[in-house]
Amino acid sequence: MSQKPAAKFRQGKKKSITSKKKRRRKQRSRFLKELFLALAGGSILAIGLSLAFVTLLTVHGFSMVPTLREGDKVLIRKNSELRRFDLASFTLGGGIPQVRRVIGLPGETIRYKDDTLYVNNQPVDEKFLVAAINESQKNGRNYTEDFVKKAVIIPKGYYFVLGDNRPYATDSRHYGLVAKGNVFGRVTTQIFPFNEVKSF
C-alpha cells in the first residue's frame, strides 16, 4: 500500500529541515574555526610586534633604591628617545643590563654642588629625591657628593646617568658616560611585585 501524499510531504519536510540544520551546524563550525584561527593569528602577531618594541627586564643590584629594588621586573620600551630623568636600560661591555636615571644629555655640562644639580650652570630640581635629600641633610651629609665636570660637554650620542641611591650607586661617576649604542631603551612600567606596579 503506497504512502499517502500528506505523509510523504511530512517526511520530505523533515529531511529538508534536518539537512538545513546540518548545513547550519557546518557553517557555524566553519565560522568558529575561522574566528579561532583569526584570533590566534592576531594574538601571535600582537605578541611578536610587542616583543619587537617592548622587553621584560629583571633589576639587578641596589643602585636604584628606593625607586627600583633587586628582583623587580620592569618593561623596557626599545629604541625610545631618552629625556632627562628617564630611567634607561643599558649594558656596559656586554655585561648584565642595568637601569639608571638619565641626568645629562648630549651637548650639556653637569655638576653637583650642595645637593643641587646644575645643568649648563643652571639649577635643576630632582623632585624624585627630595625626601632622600632632606633625610640625608638632617644627618649632616649631602645625598649626592659634590662633583664638577669641568666645562666638558657631553658628546653627541652619550648620556650621563646616575643611580637614585646616590651614596652607594655605581654610575657615570665611576664608569663614565653611556653610549647611545649600548642603550636598550626606556623603562616605562614596573610590573612586579604586583602590589608595587607603577609607570615612569
What is the Cα–Cα distance from 174 to 92, expressed in whole angstroms? Answer: 12
Contact present, 63 and 98 (Cβ < 8 Å) = yes
Lookup: cell for 124 = 635643576
pLDDT in tens, 47-102: 444 456 789 999 999 999 999 999 999 999 998 899 999 999 999 987 899 999 99
Average pLDDT over residues 88-117: 94
Question: At residue 12, does pLDDT exceed 70?
Answer: no
Q: Give the model's pLDDT for residue 166.
A: 96
Residue 8's pLDDT band (boundaries 50, 70, 90)? low
Distance of CA 45 to the CA centre of its chain: 19
Give residue 173's identity as a one-letter amino acid code.
Answer: R
Q: Give the model's pLDDT for residue 60.
A: 94
Cα separations (Å) of 37 from 29, 30, 45, 142, 171? 12, 11, 12, 61, 49
